[in-house]
Structure 1
Amino acid sequence: MRRLTQALCLAGLIGILAFYWRDPFDSGRLAGARVLLTGASGGIGEEMAYHYSSLHAELVITARKEAALQKVMEKCLELGARKVLYIPADMSLPQDPERVMQFAVQELGGLDYVVLNHIGETPYRMWEGDVDHMRWLMQVNFLSYVALASATLPALAKSKGSLLVVSSLTGKIPTPYTTSYSATKFALEGFFGSLRHELIMRGVDVSITLCILGLVDTKSAMEKIKGVVLSMPVASANEAALTIIKGGVSRAREIYYPWWVKPLCHLKDWFPDQQDWVLRSFYNYSRA
């Protein structure tokens, strides 16, 4: 009887673990889905474009570099996308978010997913008082996100769709050498967190998923931190892209990638001094 009880307890534990570790992602839900994806010419955005394509979605991709977009579009079609179009756009220009939205809705006939992923180039160094760059970066990394979300909400409300906002660990925890970038990501947290409340209160069935990413092995990120970051876990851009897509399908409130980002975010309120010391230990001060 004792062995039977132990076996039942073990089976129960395995069942509980299997329940929490299961992957509920239903890839079939993306077949034919209409997706607007920004920042798609490289890095995580490019990887997302390929994942969506292999799952047979319809895509409008956008970024500044037209030649790079064309190459991504060609590969998307090879991977199985039902439809792919691109539109070059510069998100530092206030009129471009509306132009991109109109193009996407017209060409796809509506929107099911809007993925806001683009970022402006910013130096990886200590704050030197460049307020003009801060204004420009806020336009690209924050205000254009607000403009795109506002412009696409009617289409998403009609389809009961999802808005995915790609953010960063630096939007939860201030880190060295990212002063301007961190400010823009904190702004995303405030705006889209408030917007989520308002949509629910108004009965608008549009989900907002905030995507909190750690250091990812994109070419631009690796070049920036060279010689400055001494040791920090680096995660896969391909896996980050898939995690974001899964979060949108499941209509998650937030997703974290890689796994250690979530506990680190929670620890900031419990052990702030210790966390700050650990963060600073990752960096080479002399190379900043």
Structure 2
Amino acid sequence: MQVLLLTGLGALFFTLYWDDNFDPGSRVLLTGASTGVGEELAYQYARLGAHLVLTATTEALLHKVVGNCRKLGALKVFYIAADMASPEAPQHVVQFALDKLGGLDYLVLNHVGGAPAGLRARSAKATRWLLQVNLLSYVQLTSCALPSLAASRGSLVVVSSVLGHVPAYFSSLYSAAKFALDGFFGFLRRELDVQDVNVAITLCVLGLRERTSATEGVRGRAQPWLAAAGPKAALAVIRGGATWASGVFYPWRFHLLCVLRGWLPHPPAWFIRQDLNVSIAAA
């Protein structure tokens, strides 16, 4: 009971006073900024007075987001279109941000990708593509940005998924990449602590994809993975980075799901089919 009370009071304090920790003018590089949570993160950072570099694959969408950020009062906002499936893109993006902003206070890694249309879900080509976008590019961006973040005592914010903690059906490669992200950044946090490098790492766990996407996976039609979107999700991510929290769960109930995973590590196939409301015949 005492633990629950302290947790509740801590959450209340966190909600009321977190914004005191975010300094207007902080320099933020945000990936995956054109849609979904990334787009909302851009708008919330703009409202808080951040200086922004936004990146995503589609230039037209980025241009729209940049315009909206300026309407919200952002004094400095730049964009660079980049495809994280290219191994050269991460270094190019970080260098662009350093040139435009003069350094970084926040690196917010949010981009995501499922296998491109036309690729078999478990083919070698699809596997390489998915791991480059969802794992290796995160490592590359972090490596390139760490010197600047260390100089500013900055914060590294990683937007991940509950699939990095609880494996789900028909998401084996994607879940593997998210599990790897959790492991990499967890150990990197320890290494930085040992070396007295003052860079905070916040791992943000967002909600599951839509049930319809999983159902299509049963039937062999690949669908994108969708994370929780909207202002509340974006603010939860920003709060975590601003307060140097080690982890953020949104919605909060997914924290409980991760805890309960140990009680039912391998749900039976019939339970999964009932959950998705599909049958073998329908598949």
TM-score w.r.t. structure 1 length? 0.84
Contact 1:122 1:181 in 2 (8 A): no
- Give, in whole Å, the separation in 2 of the partners of 1:222 and 1:57: 35
1:110 partnered with 2:99: no
Deviations 1:240-280 (A, max 9, x none): 11111110001111110101100110111234356987666
Structure 1, unmatched stretches of 5+, are: 1-12
- Give, in whole Å, the separation in 1 of the partners of 2:193 and 2:139: 18
Cα gap change, 1:271/1:120 in structure 2, threshold over 3 Å: closer, same or farther?
Answer: closer
Cα gap change, 1:70/1:256 in structure 2, threshold over 3 Å: closer, same or farther?
Answer: same
Which residue number in structure 2 is paired with residue 205 of structure 1?
198
Matched to 1:145, the amino acid is Y
Cα gap change, 1:15/1:31 in structure 2, threshold over 3 Å: closer, same or farther?
Answer: same
* Fraction of identical pairs, as percent: 49
- Give, in whole Å, the separation in 1 of the partners of 2:63 and 2:156: 25
Cα gap change, 1:17/1:202 in structure 2, threshold over 3 Å: closer, same or farther?
Answer: closer
Q: State the superposition RMSD in angstroms.
A: 2.7
- Give, in whole Å, the separation in 2 of the partners of 1:183 and 1:128: 13
Deviations 1:184-228 (A, max 9, x none): 111101111111110000000001111111136xxxx68735767
Structure 2, unmatched stretches of 5+, are: 219-226
Rg larger for:
1
Q: CA deviation at 1:26?
A: 1.7
| 1:219-234 matches, cutoff 5 A | 224-225=213-214
* Worse-matched range after superposition: 261-270 or 56-65: 261-270
* Worse-matched range after superposition: 154-163 or 236-245: 236-245
1:66 partnered with 2:59: yes
Specify which of 121, 125, 140 is matched with residue 133 of structure 2.
Answer: 140
* Worse-matched range after superposition: 207-216 or 98-107: 207-216
Matched to 1:76, the amino acid is C
Matched to 1:113, the amino acid is Y
TM-score w.r.t. structure 2 length? 0.85
Cα gap change, 1:113/1:246 in structure 2, threshold over 3 Å: closer, same or farther?
Answer: same
Give the secondary structure class of the aligned counterpart of 1:272: coil
- Give, in whole Å, the separation in 2 of the partners of 1:283 and 1:163: 36
1:122 partnered with 2:115: yes
Matched to 1:263, the amino acid is L
Which residue number in structure 1 is paired with residue 23 of structure 2?
30
